[in-house]
Amino acid sequence: MDRLHALEMAIEKIILDPKYHDILTLVKGIRNGVVYGTKVRFPHALVMIFLFRSGSFRSKCALVFKATRQHARNLGLFALVYKSSMLFLRHTSPTGKERHYDALLAGLLGGYTVFGRTIHNSVSQQIVIYVFARVCLALAKLAVQPSHVGRIEGVGGAAGGGGGWELLGNAELRNKVVKNGWPVFASVSWAAVMYLFRWHPETVQSSLRSSMSYIYVQSDDWDSLRNFIWHNK
């Protein structure tokens, strides 16, 4: 026990040493990316694959494991590339501090390295599409947000200063855009995906296409109470 305690104390001394802080942030970033990717993907893959995929129990388990591993790997690797790039850019800065566009450059490199070269990977596509949708919403909010609003202490806003671009100076017009922006975005998004699913289903991501087929197509046919209530025909 004494040896174990001594080892624990030695490790704790290392991880609390400021000179190791930068390199340890990479380790912690990878760890957090892997854990978060696993927590997000595993229940999603478990439900989607067991409900909508055919095959044996073993093959479905293998697909769940593959999707979970891919999601965890992607987020962990992206954390490594992004945080490494941020450290490099900060240390090469003339002031030794983070510059305004360092995060953009680091994200660009991480996005290409981890996601940009895996165009045929469905997990990577889902992550990128999710991020793209969130970027669209954030940019729409930023465009009309007043310049003195938006700072979030302790997150990105602490370094960047926060505040919107205030492209619409008229307060009444800005309020109307903010009020109607989400309904328009949601309506157009669903209109587009339903049109694509109806007339160009091959372009829709496979898991989304399967779930949409289950809801909107397979619900059109039944020949008994059993396959009307309990399962599809």
> What tens digit of pLDDT does each residue of 24-65 get?
899 999 999 999 999 999 999 999 899 888 899 999 999 999
Q: Domain check: are 84 and 35 in the same one? A: yes
The C-alpha angle 179, 181, 187, rounded to 5 degrees, equals 120
Residues 6+ apart with CB under 8 A from 181: 140, 141, 144
pLDDT at 225: 67
Closest C-alpha among 206, 204, 231, 201 to residue 218? 231
C-beta of residue 124 within 8 angstroms of C-beta of residue 117: no
Q: Is there a single domain that holds both residue 35 and residue 139? A: no
The share of the chain scoring above pLDDT 70, in percent, equals 85
Condensed to tens digits (0 to 9), the pLDDT of residues 175-216 reads 777 777 777 777 787 788 888 888 888 888 877 888 778 777
Q: Which of 117, 142, 167 is the last residue of a domain?
A: 117
In a domain, 133, yes or no: yes
Tell whether 161 and 106 lie within a shared domain.
no
Of 117, 138, 167, the position where a domain reaches its end is 117
For the chain, percent of residues with pLDDT exceeding 90: 34
Kindly report, residue by residue over 89-128, the tens digit of the pLDDT.
999 999 989 888 899 999 999 999 999 887 678 899 888 9
Domain range enclosing 166: 118-221
Q: Give Cα 37 to chain centroid, integer Å.
A: 9
**Size of the chain, expressed as the number of residues it contains:** 233
pTM recorded for the entire structure: 0.76
**Taking CA 170 as the corner, what is the angle to CA 165 and CA 175, rounded to the nearest 5 degrees?**
85
Least confident interval from 4-13, 27-36, 49-58, 76-85? 4-13
Domain total of the chain: 2
pLDDT of residue 74: 94
Question: Residue 150: what residue type?
Answer: G
Any idea what DSSP says for residue 66?
Answer: H
